[in-house]
Amino acid sequence: MNNLFIISFSILCGSIIHIIFRYFSRFNISKFQAVVVNYLVCSLIGLGLSGDKLSQVWNTEWFLLCFFLGIIFVTVFWLMAYNTEVHGASINAMSSKMAVVVPVVFSIFVLKEQIHYLAIIGVCLSIPAILLISLRKDVKLSKTHKSLPILVFLCSGAIDLILKLLEMYQGNVASSTQLSYGLFMGAFTFGALALLYQAAKQGKKLLWKNSIAGLILGIPNYFSIALLLAFLNAYPNNSTFVFGMYNTGIVLVSSILSSLIFKEIWTRQKLFGLILVILSVILVAYGQ
């Protein structure tokens, strides 16, 4: 398969996720139920396409770690759905994809790695960028709603950092495909337990429309990750370039789609924030 097609389709799938989130409020979809079903769909697709050997992930010594990481994955995806409902698909894409700066900050202050000055500039640009897209003047928002892009930024950054650490310390134990499948299964396992608790204590039932929404969300979610991993395998020594292209592409495509489909209004503040986000992501990618 052509590598350009792989990364382009991965970016398209990743962008569609933000558009799907926008429809949740329109159809009164339970964000949490849809997110949990989404991870079941991702797990089943991964199992079906990857072969029986991945079914052994349940018995690996690191699956318990995947379960706890799944808590973060479910929480972040729920936050992203909520953030899209309040701020729109473009701002959600910006706040989540700019999170690549978090592992860089960790590398500088904790791992004491030598980082190129371009990456440091990118990190510095991320601060005014996240403030510009959070502190909106075009609509009246509560403090909680204003903080959503910042929460998505920080939590998405935590996921990027965790994946970086997993790649560093678990890379010799499991393949990237097994780890991604394990994370999907861990996220679904936690989410399923939470749904069972809600059903037992609060009488909440899993509705068909939420399951269908989760199915629709899970398909592009799986392929955005799977195709990104395939593209990374084609360029193993240029991961920073790949992530820079991927994150920048999703921000741009999500912004274009949200403008065309939902007629999202672009103020000068929001447009300037978009420019800073793209610059931040590119500088961090090329500066590593």
Name which of 13, 31, 12, 11 is nearest 21 in CA terms: 31
The stretches in the chain having pLDDT less than 50 are: none
Confidence (pTM): 0.86
Contacts of 68 (CB under 8 A, 6+ apart): 186
pLDDT at 139: 67
Q: What's the pLDDT tens digit per position in 62-76?
A: 677 777 888 888 999
The answer to whether residues 176 and 116 touch, using CB atoms and an 8 Å cutoff, is no
The pLDDT of residue 140: 74
Cα 112 → chain centroid: 26
Neighbours of 105 (CB within 10 A): 17
How much is the pLDDT for 188? 92
* Helix boundaries (H) for the chain: 3-26, 31-50, 63-87, 89-97, 101-109, 117-134, 143-169, 176-202, 208-234, 239-262, 268-287
Q: Which pLDDT does position 51 carry in this prediction?
A: 67
Looking at residue 169, its pLDDT comes to 62
Q: What are phi and psi of 42, to 5 degrees?
A: -60, -40
Measured torsion, CA atoms of residues 57, 213, 84, 219, in degrees rounded to the nearest 10: 50
